[in-house]
Amino acid sequence: MVGWLYPCGADCDIAVVVFDKDGTLLDFNATWLPAFREAAERVALEAGEKDLAPALLKAGGWLEEAEGPRITPDGLFHHATNLEIAQAWIDTQPIVANHFANDVTALMTLLESTLKECTVRDAAPLGPAEDVLRELRAAGLHLAVVTNDSEAIARAQLARLGWTDYFGSIIGFDSGFGGKPGGGGIRAAIEAAGLKPQQAIMVGDSESDLVAGQVAGCAFTVAIHPDAKPLPIGLATAACRMPSIAGLPEALATAGHRALRASRRAPDEVAQTPWPSEAVELPTPAECMQAQMEAKAAVAAAAAVDKAVVALVDGMREP
């Protein structure tokens, strides 16, 4: 599972890197927290109950703490599609359900417009993301974004940062392939590059990202997770984990990607250089065993709902 992390001296066949967007390429807190607050306030005002906003935020996993607000790792705001967020607000808030007459599409329209306006305005890169994207493209790798955000919002954010041209595919939950943890979007991105799943890796910061990569048949998954935070068990199935994508080019060079290896150091030097411990932390055996059990269940569940999600999105598109 982790052999690719170590200097091997041989060429590797990785040709596609599929990225999650928020928390991987974009700074999630800077980009999204103001937007979620604004969306909750607008929905509450539209429903005629402005004091409802805190309850809407809480339903999404929002926590107010002394050092500032944050979203819980398993909160809807962190991993769910906008459709799922809108449905949760209708399911948990009778005032919202009554005002929108249980019409999740109408609520999602308001949610989408607010989130697009605010997140495009506040879109912020996570660390040296653009430098990494530039280096990977220069090395001949195909890049793609697969997100549980809508395609329109994703494209607008990436355009705001000037990143659109780095990616061959930008796929959202509503692009016709379903959302994560289903693997449809990742498979579509790989097929668009004319390559095979075993030539691709999935890079993300949530369990749904890693499960989606496994469902799609990717060669490896890479977890983005800050060193200072406890590791969620769902990330322990990744081939490696690193604090940001800053370590990704070196990881692929060390694994044997010819162009990246040549651009960084001589092959003999790579073969002699130990993996930098600060860039990646390997999961413990106990973490792996537990995560593999949970991942198997998640993969089975994702495969079961993959077609159903696609059908739901297609149904929403029909006049």
The CATH number given to whatever domain includes residue 153 is 3.40.50.1000
Mark which of 105, 122, 139 sits at the end of a domain: 122
- The answer to whether residues 155 and 74 belong to one domain is no
Task: Copy the structure tokens of residue 205.
Answer: 């910061």
- The answer to whether residues 20 and 49 belong to one domain is no
- pLDDT for 280 equals 41
- pLDDT for 296 equals 54
- pLDDT for 259 equals 86
Mark which of 72, 105, 122 sits at the end of a domain: 122
**Residues near 319 by beta carbon (within 8 Å), at least 6 away in sequence:** none
- The answer to whether residues 229 and 95 belong to one domain is no
Q: What b/e sequence results for 171-188 when a residue is b if at least 16 CB atoms lie within 10 Å of its CB, and e otherwise?
A: bbbbbebbbbbbbbbbbb
Task: Copy the structure tokens of residue 164.
Answer: 């659109």
- pLDDT for 178 equals 95
- The answer to whether residues 188 and 244 belong to one domain is yes
- pLDDT for 230 equals 76
- The answer to whether residues 48 and 178 belong to one domain is no
From residue 255, how far is each of 9, 20, 205, 261 by CA, in Å?
Answer: 8, 21, 21, 9
Chain segment 205-223, per-residue pLDDT in tens:
999 999 999 999 999 899 9
- The answer to whether residues 234 and 299 belong to one domain is yes
Q: Which residues of the chain have pLDDT under 70?
A: 1-11, 228, 265-319
- pLDDT for 236 equals 82
- The answer to whether residues 98 and 188 belong to one domain is no
- pLDDT for 306 equals 53
Which of 121, 103, 108, 92 is CA-nearest to residue 31?
121
Domain holding 37, by residue range, is 29-122
- pLDDT for 105 equals 94
- The answer to whether residues 160 and 255 belong to one domain is yes
Q: Amino acid identity of 183?
A: G
- pLDDT for 308 equals 56
Mark which of 122, 146, 166 sits at the end of a domain: 122
Strands 68-71 and 62-65: antiparallel
- pLDDT for 9 equals 43
- The answer to whether residues 164 and 22 belong to one domain is yes
- The answer to whether residues 89 and 224 belong to one domain is no
Which of 19, 27, 9 is CA-nearest to residue 142?
19
- The answer to whether residues 102 and 45 belong to one domain is yes
- Domain count across the chain: 2
**Residues near 251 by beta carbon (within 8 Å), at least 6 away in sequence:** 5, 222, 240, 242, 279, 280
- The answer to whether residues 90 and 153 belong to one domain is no
